[in-house]
Structure 1
Amino acid sequence: MPIPDPPPIPAADPEALRTALPAVLRDTFDTEWVQVLDRAKQSHSLREIHELLNKWQHTAAMELRAPGSYQRLLDKAAQIESAGGRSSGVSIEDMRALIQRRMQAS
């Protein structure tokens, strides 16, 4: 059985994103959209608008592929934060040493 194609990624456009987002996330998007528009009016810069649309484009694509993934991500972040940080993580120094060993082995 062939693997189905993933859903298309919505355009980085407010209307397209609102359509692609599940109803539970639309209010959050709308709130952030209004805030970033207000800041853009003051700063005369579109940078934050582009950043917001990019963030929500990724979120919408993630939700289309795995519904509920955004909430799971938030839940995991809250769990890590409440535990005082990620305890099972590897330090950057240890990761660099591992990479160096693997590069020398090849």
Structure 2
Amino acid sequence: MAAPHHDPAHQLVPAAEPEALRAALPPPLREEFDSEWESVLEDAKKSHTLVDIHALLNKWQHTAAMEFRDPGSYQRMLDKAARILEQGGNPHGGTLEDMLAHIERRRRAL
């Protein structure tokens, strides 16, 4: 029997479970996760749905993986978003039309 294939990149992604995510996050982000977790739990009690819990776990799973690959990237993303909002746009970004054209070119290349 062949040994199972282990993808090293997959090990960078923690399980979408609160305990695993907390363990993978640096302390400042862990505090933010805890705050959001408490809020979404309260909302789930009232709405009787798990949709927001799943969305939160998905968001933080991606954030934890991003932070593992590039520590500090989450804060840099927030800082960039704040600058874009302050400036009323991204001077280094393309237009929506450019992005749609780029997507179409990639679709045709498939």
Structure 2 partner of 1:12? 16
User: What is the identity percentage for the equivalent residue pairs of Structure 1 and Structure 2?
Assistant: 61
Task: Tell me the CA shift for residue 78 of structure 1.
Answer: 0.7
2:67 paired with 1:63: yes
Name the structure 2 match of 1:72. Answer: 76
User: So what's the TM-score if we normalise by structure 2?
Assistant: 0.79
For structure 1, which runs of at least 5 residues remain unmatched after alignment?
Answer: none
Q: What CA distance in whole angstroms lies between the structure 1 residues aligned with 2:27 and 2:49?
A: 29
> In the aligned structure 2, how far is the partner of 1:102 from the partner of 1:53?
30
Task: Tell me how many residue pairs correspond in the alignment.
Answer: 100
Aligned to 2:4: none
CA distance in 1, matches of 2:42, 2:24: 24
TM-aligned CA deviation for residue 95 of structure 1: 4.0
AA matched with 2:58 = N
Give 1:27's aligned amino acid: E
- 2:55 alignment partner in structure 1: 51
Structure 2 gap ranges (5+) = 1-7
Q: Given residue 43 of structure 1, which amino acid in structure 2 is its aligned partner?
A: S
Shift of 1:26: 0.7
Alpha carbon RMSD of aligned pairs, Å? 2.3
- How far apart are 1:37 and its partner, in Å? 0.3
Q: Which whole-Å CA distance do the structure 1 matches of 2:88 and 2:73 have between them?
A: 23
TM-score, normalization by structure 1: 0.82
